[in-house]
A = this chain, B = another copy of it.
Amino acid sequence: MENIVVNYLEHPKLHDPIFIEGLPGIGNVGKLAAEHLRDELKGVKFAEMFSKYFPPQVLVHENGLIKLVNNEFHYVKRNGGRDLVILVGDYQGLTPEGQYDLSDRVLKEMEKHGVVFSRGEPGAGIVGASGLVLGLGKLYGLRSVCLMGETSGYFVDPKSAQAVLQVLTKVLGVEISFEQLESKAKQIDQITSKLREGEGQPEAPSKEDLGYIG
Give the residue of B54, B68, B101, B136 whose beta carbon is less than 8 angstroms from that of A96.
Answer: B54
Segment of A32-40, A122-130, A162-170 in the binding face: A122-130
Copies of this chain, whole number = 4
Contact with B along A139-155 (1 / 0, CB 8 A): 10000001000000000
From residue A200, how far is it (CB to closest CB) to chain B in Å?
23
Cβ contact within 8 Å between B53 and A104: no
The interface size of chain A toward B, counting residues with CB under 8 Å, comes to 40
Q: Give the nearest-CB partner of A124 in chain B.
A: B58
Using known A-B contacts A57-B126, A132-B58, determine if residue A100 contacts B1 with beta carbons closer than 8 Å. Answer: yes
Cβ contact within 8 Å between B99 and A56: yes
Cβ contact within 8 Å between B60 and A132: no
Q: Give the nearest-CB partner of A99 in chain B.
A: B56
Residue from the set A52, A104, A129 with the largest chain B CB neighbour count within 10 Å: A52
Cβ contact within 8 Å between B96 and A55: yes
Interface positions of A (Cβ within 8 A of B): 1, 3, 5, 7, 50, 52-60, 66-69, 93-94, 96-97, 99-101, 103-104, 125-129, 131-132, 134-136, 138-139, 146
17 CB contacts below 8 A, A to B, read A1-B101, A1-B104, A52-B96, A53-B96, A54-B96, A55-B127, A56-B100, A57-B126, A58-B131, A58-B135, A66-B134, A66-B146, A67-B135, A68-B131, A68-B132, A68-B135, A68-B136
